[in-house]
């Protein structure tokens, strides 16, 4: 069966004309009766039902998270001042001494980069708390910063709200400071802290559970190695219940979900394919990371990947890395290999010893954002004439035009028995692009397993790309291609596809890479 959006509008025009010509010759009453008949017939016609969902499907909280696509991490604690990546847990609270902390500067750097939220290390492995927790003395309240009256969690969460970003927390399960770590008492302490964070700082979009558990630590002066069984010690089920109860729309991140998963590396690179689904049974934070990069297909659970990576080599600020900030081109490559493979990108921006995002990081982020904005400003497919090999029930609701309306909640779908359809875009004139963007309609699950793209060259179709998973977003990026027609072929799907969006975009010409600005550190953060 062949149908197209244009055929639909053609049918509508033809009907209208027919009605008009009859009206000329028929008495008004008869024409009214006829119209009523047509209207009542239309009202009783059964609407085409949407496809049945396939496999695991996302929850409301996961759908909201998918929409964010790009957010940031803030790694900030005593390590920033002791020049370490992992503190021992015996750091003096007075070590935490930002000299010009500015939450709005930090959040606006993230916002200007296009981030939709920020996740702050409220407590890293060293156990130092960035908020004045009532359950420990090892926190900002015993630092000299703001005379011990400061609260980084409060300031960052408020600045996020002011600037329209979502806010999330990282609370390290491993605590090298706490005397009870590895004993049952520590679990109570950990949960009390989690409750504090989830009840004092407004909405939290993500609770980030790190799987790292190294062993050695200060542990209240014991200075020994403590090991725990990752599978049982934390009793995750009951900890997760607290989050669900206090912050039902927050996603929980860990190697094992339950809502979002680690992508299996700290380079920010998702697998290809990267399925949003995973077989979750038997997994636990800090457990086997095998399969996390690509997920499992078809998979028993919807647990999409988050790609975490730092803009610098380390997670915390080190002045020696001022000239090693990732370049805009490197950030773009990461973006295409994370967001462009259906994952979310969590890019770490480490505040420096002033308590601000360093100028070099801002410079790189600015150019990265400029290129992304210039790329995605115009969908070059807009206005194309679309022809699909099949449209579900020939219904307008599932028409191919839905893929060009810039809305994720409308989609092109086919009849149940059509699992390898194609969609032709007549672009009306030659168009040059180097990025193809595709999105599936997620509430119906991840349906497409493989696709191919053809361009029209010298009177025939020539394949220029092929891929596997699409999910929330697939960005196919290549060299410039000029064509007046494009064809998308769904080459493998266990059920009929439901495609929400399709776009063609062109990256602006590259400007030569600027070297990072000299390592200017107003306020003289000395190492």
Is the Cα torsion angle 410, 416, 422, 425 positive or negative in sign? negative
Maximum CA extent, the chain: 100
How far, in Å, CA of 374 to CA of 360, rounded?
22
- Residue 332 Cβ, how far from ligand FUL at the closest point, in Å? 22
Residues 14-53, one symbol each (x = binds ligand FUL by CB under 6 A, - = not), give ----------------------------------------
Q: SS3 for 102?
A: coil
For the chain, what's the residue count?
A: 527
Peptide linkage before 298 cis (omega within 30 of 0): yes
What is the rounded distance in angstroms from the CA atom of residue 123 to the CA atom of residue 209? 11
| Residue 232 near residue 187, CB atoms below 8 Å | no
Q: In the complex with ligand FUL, which residue's Cβ is closer, 208 or 368?
A: 208
Q: In whole angstroms, what is the distance from residue 145 CA to residue 325 CA?
A: 28
Q: State which residue, 225 or 492, has the beta carbon closest to ligand FUL.
A: 225
The total of other beta-carbon atoms located within 10 Å of residue 367's CB is 17
Taking the alpha carbons at both ends of the chain, their separation in whole angstroms is 70
Contact 83, 122 (CB under 8 A): no
Residue with Cβ nearer ligand FUL (85 or 90): 85
b/e per residue 146-159 (b: at least 16 CB within 10 A): eeeebbbbbbbbbb
Nearest approach, Cβ of 322 to ligand FUL (angstroms)?
20
Q: Cβ closer to ligand FUL: 85 or 291?
A: 85
Q: How far is the CB of 167 from ligand FUL (least distance, A)?
A: 17
Q: Nearest-CA neighbor of 404 among 336, 507, 504?
A: 504
By CB under 6 A, the count of residues binding ligand FUL is 5
- Shortest spacing between CB 152 and ligand FUL, in angstroms: 16
CA distance linking residue 319 with residue 83, whole number of Å: 9
Shortest gap between Cβ of 170 and ligand FUL (angstroms)? 7
What is the SS3 string spanning 375-389?
HHCCCCCCCCEEEEC
Task: Choose between 190 and 315: whose C-beta lies nearer to ligand FUL.
Answer: 315
- Among residue numbers 297 through 326, which ones bind ligand FUL (CB under 6 A)? 308, 315
Taking the least distance from each CB to ligand FUL, the nearer of 212 and 323 is: 212
- The residue with its CB nearest to ligand FUL is 212
What mask, x for binding ligand FUL by CB under 6 A, covers residues 149 to 188? ----------------------------------------
Q: Smallest gap, in angstroms, from Cβ of residue 267 to ligand FUL?
A: 12
Could you tell me the smallest distance in angstroms from the CB atom of residue 214 to ligand FUL? 8
Phi and psi at residue 386, to the nearest 5°: -110, 135
Answer for the pair 498, 482: CB distance below 8 angstroms, yes or no: no
Q: How far is the CB of 66 from ligand FUL (least distance, A)?
A: 21
Determine if the peptide bond prior to 86 is cis (ω within 30°).
no
Considering only residues 468 through 527, tell me which ones interact with ligand FUL, judged by CB under 6 A: none
Q: Which is nearer to ligand FUL, 58 or 89 (CB)?
A: 89
Residues 83-102 that bind ligand FUL (CB under 6 A): 85
Q: Tell which positions 264-283 bind ligand FUL, by CB under 6 A.
A: none
The rounded distance, in Å, linking the Cα atoms of 138 and 127 is 7
Question: What's the closest the beta carbon of residue 120 comes to ligand FUL, in angstroms?
Answer: 11
The residues in 194-223 that bind ligand FUL, with binding defined as CB under 6 A, are: 210, 212
Residue 263 or 470: which CB sits closer to ligand FUL?
263
Shortest distance (Å) from residue 210 CB to ligand FUL: 5
Nearer to ligand FUL, 119 or 427 (CB): 119
Instruction: List, as own/partner pairs, every contact residues 36-43 make where C-beta atoms lie below 8 angstroms and the sequence separation is at least 24, other chains included.
Output: none
Q: Which of residues 181 and 505 has its CB atom nearest to ligand FUL in the complex?
A: 181
| Residues of the shown chain interacting with ligand FUL in the complex, contacts defined by CB under 6 A | 85, 210, 212, 308, 315
């Amino acid at each position: 069966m062949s149908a197209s959006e244009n055929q639909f509008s053609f049918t509508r025009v033809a009907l209208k004309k027919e009605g008009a010509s009859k009206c000329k010759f028929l008495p008004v009453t008869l024409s009214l009766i006829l119209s009523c008949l047509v209207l009542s017939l239309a009202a009783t016609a059964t609407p085409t039902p949407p496809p049945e969902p396939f496999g695991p499907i996302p929850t409301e909280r996961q759908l909201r998270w998918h929409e964010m696509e790009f957010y940031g991490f803030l790694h900030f604690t005593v390590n920033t001042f002791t020049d370490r990546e992992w503190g021992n847990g015996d750091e003096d609270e007075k070590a935490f001494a930002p000299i010009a902390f500015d939450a709005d500067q930090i959040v606006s750097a993230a916002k200007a980069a296009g981030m939709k939220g920020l996740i702050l290390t409220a407590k890293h492995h060293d156990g130092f708390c960035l908020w004045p927790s009532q359950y420990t003395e090892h926190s900002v309240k015993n630092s000299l910063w703001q005379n011990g009256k400061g609260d980084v969690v409060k300031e960052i969460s408020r600045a996020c709200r002011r600037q329209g970003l979502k806010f999330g927390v990282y609370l390290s399960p491993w605590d090298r400071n706490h005397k009870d770590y590895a004993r049952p008492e520590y679990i109570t302490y950990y949960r009390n802290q989690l409750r504090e964070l989830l009840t004092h700082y407004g909405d939290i979009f993500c609770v980030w559970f790190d799987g790292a558990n190294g062993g050695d630590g200060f542990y209240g002066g014991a200075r020994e190695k403590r090991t725990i069984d990752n599978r049982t010690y934390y009793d995750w089920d009951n900890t997760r219940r607290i989050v669900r109860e206090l912050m039902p729309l927050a996603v929980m991140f860990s190697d094992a979900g339950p809502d979002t998963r680690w992508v299996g590396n700290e380079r920010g690179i998702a697998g290809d394919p990267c399925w949003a689904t995973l077989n979750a049974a038997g997994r636990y934070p800090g457990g086997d990371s095998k399969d996390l990069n690509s997920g499992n297909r078809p998979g028993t659970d919807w647990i999409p990947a988050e790609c975490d990576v730092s803009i610098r080599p380390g997670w915390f600020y080190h002045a020696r890395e001022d000239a090693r900030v990732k370049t805009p081109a490197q950030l773009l490559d990461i973006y295409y290999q994370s967001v462009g493979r259906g994952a979310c990108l969590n890019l770490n921006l480490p505040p420096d010893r002033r308590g601000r995002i360093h100028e070099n990081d801002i410079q790189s982020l600015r150019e990265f954002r400029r290129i992304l904005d210039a790329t995605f400003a115009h969908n070059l497919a807009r206005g194309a004439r679309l022809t699909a090999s099949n449209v579900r029930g020939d219904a307008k609701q599932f028409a191919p035009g839905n893929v060009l309306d810039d809305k994720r909640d409308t989609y092109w779908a086919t009849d149940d028995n059509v699992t390898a359809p194609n969609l032709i875009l007549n672009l009306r004139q030659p168009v040059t692009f180097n990025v193809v963007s595709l999105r599936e309609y997620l509430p119906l699950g991840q349906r497409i397993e493989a696709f191919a793209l053809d361009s029209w060259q010298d009177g025939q179709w020539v394949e220029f790309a092929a891929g596997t998973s699409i999910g929330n977003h697939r960005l196919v990026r290549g060299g410039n291609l000029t064509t007046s027609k494009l064809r998308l072929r769904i080459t493998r799907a266990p059920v009929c596809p439901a495609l929400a969006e399709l776009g063609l975009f062109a990256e602006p010409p590259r400007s030569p890479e600027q070297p990072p600005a000299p390592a200017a550190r107003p306020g003289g953060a000395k190492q």
